[in-house]
Amino acid sequence: DITNGQYSIFFPRNTGREPLYIYLSALLTPLFGITFLDIKVAAVIGGLLMLPYLYLLGKELGSARIGLLAVAFAGIAYWPNVIERFALRISFYPLFVAPVLYYLIRGLRRQNRNDFLLAGVMLGLGLNGYTPFRIMPFVVVAIVGIYLLHVREKQIRKQTLIWLGLLALTSWVFFIPLARYAVENPDMFGFRAMSRLGTVERPLP
């Protein structure tokens, strides 16, 4: 559709698809054509771009050694490699989870506004990448909530809440086009999730 000039923010076929993986695949068609290899390469790119943030997240949570071990295990893990070789866009889930968690945790630790803004950018982009990523806004709120329970300084708590608002606003800017589609087509937007969680597609066994 994209190569024929039909652009969409949400692709309804096959229970619905967010746009980033599909547009990346379309961007690669001059190199690989509309082929299975093309969408495999797009999935692999998602997995490879995740690795630097996985390292940084491990380093932020522990040490450089933990970061390197995380990357090494991700490199040999069964599921990431199988998923990417089957050209599934699931690689776009950790691709954005890792930077969201990295910037959020670093921002909380250093009380750095720019980290919150970058977490918001990655959160907004991630919502355009893969359906289960929709749980991440709740994860962000939960992490900040747990952080606030352990902070005694009133000024830091107030500042953290303001920056959480900036994070939410930044992510919203990147999510606006998809949000409009969701409002106009709620059944289609939620169909993939509901087909996995409920009886929309078939009765539960």
Residue 198: its pLDDT value, please?
79
Q: Is 35 left (phi over 0), alpha (psi -120 to 50) or beta?
A: beta
In this structure, are residues 149 and 161 in contact, taking their beta carbons and an 8 Å threshold? no
Strand-pair partners of 11? 17
Q: How many CB atoms lie within 10 A of CB 64?
A: 11
Q: Give the pLDDT of residue 102.
A: 98
Residue 127 is predicted with a pLDDT of 96
Task: Indicate the pTM of the whole model.
Answer: 0.91
Residue 199 has pLDDT above 90, yes or no: no
User: Using one digit for the tens of pLDDT, what is the confidence trace for 132-182?
Assistant: 999 999 999 999 999 999 998 999 999 999 999 999 999 999 999 999 999
Task: Tell me how crowded residue 100 is: count the other CB atoms within 10 A of its CB.
Answer: 28
pLDDT at 52: 96
pLDDT of residue 181: 94
Per residue in 49-81, pLDDT tens?
999 999 999 999 999 999 999 999 998 999 888
Q: Identify the weakest region by mean pLDDT among 1-10, 12-21, 92-101, 190-199.
A: 190-199
Tell me how far apart the alpha carbons of residues 188 and 180 are, in angstroms, rounded to a whole number.
12
- Determine the Cα–Cα distance for residues 6 and 17; give it in Å rounded to an integer: 15
List residues bridging with 17 in a β-sheet: 11
Burial of 185 (0-12, 13-18, 19+ CB in 10 A): middle
Compute φ and ψ for 11, nearest 5 degrees: -105, 110
Give yes or no for residue 201 having a pLDDT over 80.
Answer: no
Burial class (CB in 10 A: 0-12, 13-18, 19+), 6: exposed
> Could you give phi then psi for residue 155, rounded to 5 degrees?
-65, -40
